[in-house]
Amino acid sequence: MGRRGIQPMHKISTEWSANLAYCIGLIATDGSLSKDGRHIEFISKDRDLVETFCRCLGIRNRIGSKVSGYKKNSLAFRVQFGDVAFYRWLLGLGLTPNKSLTIGELKIPDEFFFDFLRGSFDGDGTIYSFRDERWKNSFMFYVRFVSASKKHLEWLQAAIHRLLAVRGIIRQNTRAYHIVFAKRSTRKILEKIYAVPDAPCLERKLAKCRKILTIDTQRA
């Protein structure tokens, strides 16, 4: 016999798509699942990223703001919505309440992995560059993903290596773990996550990536 009682309605589609995978990347980094078994929240200092998140999921909930607890006097934007069926689906992927230290492998289809990775990059990823004065015309750049869970970064490391044949190095600092990819690997990753020109992304981060790649190409 099937389950008795009224089953929760799906407000948000759980059919895999590039936009959905991108949002899973955002939830895995800057999102949270409430302990009530219903509500999901996404927070970012970039209002346009929260707006993109809402648009990709097809929700129209109000976007609020609050002072960030991580950086004093730093404003963050947030959206919260309730969807029991979507919440349970996220649990099935490997997301949990209080996920920061416990998140590990996520069940992301290979077809949409780099859409997910773009969301992860927009959430807790960074790119930085510098000129190494030890060598003439040297221009170095790196992509870094951050997580409080080493287990999650180990899964990310293995998945990227399996799909793209590049391997990052996992390191630990006082606050979290991070996985770093060097120049050639970074270029391969960026080419994959930005392969579709109109794919949802954080525009300021895309602009920074383009600038760095342009400088590198000009110096080649």
pLDDT (0 to 100) of residue 103: 94
State how far the alpha carbon of 73 is from the alpha carbons of 36, 44, 64, 189, 190, in Å.
29, 14, 16, 34, 32
Longest dimension (CA), the chain: 73
Residue 110's identity, in one-letter code, is D
Task: Report the C-alpha gap between 123 and 146 in whole angstroms.
Answer: 9
Distance of CA 106 to the CA centre of its chain: 12
Exposure class string for 115-146: b at 16+ Cβ within 10 A, else e: bbbbbbbbbbbebebeeeeeeeeebebbbbbb
pLDDT (0 to 100) of residue 6: 46
Per-residue pLDDT of the chain (220 residues), as tens digits, is: 444 444 455 589 999 999 999 999 999 999 999 999 999 999 999 999 999 999 999 999 999 998 866 555 689 999 999 999 999 999 999 999 988 888 999 999 999 999 999 999 999 999 999 887 776 668 899 999 999 999 999 999 999 999 999 999 999 988 899 999 999 999 999 999 999 999 999 999 999 999 999 988 887 6
pLDDT (0 to 100) of residue 9: 55
pLDDT (0 to 100) of residue 2: 46
Domains of the chain: 18-103 (3.10.28.10), 120-219 (3.10.28.10)
Taking the whole predicted model, whether its pTM rises above 0.85 is answered as yes
Strand order from edge to edge, sheet including 75-82:
31-33, 39-44, 75-82, 64-67
pLDDT (0 to 100) of residue 70: 53
pLDDT (0 to 100) of residue 197: 92
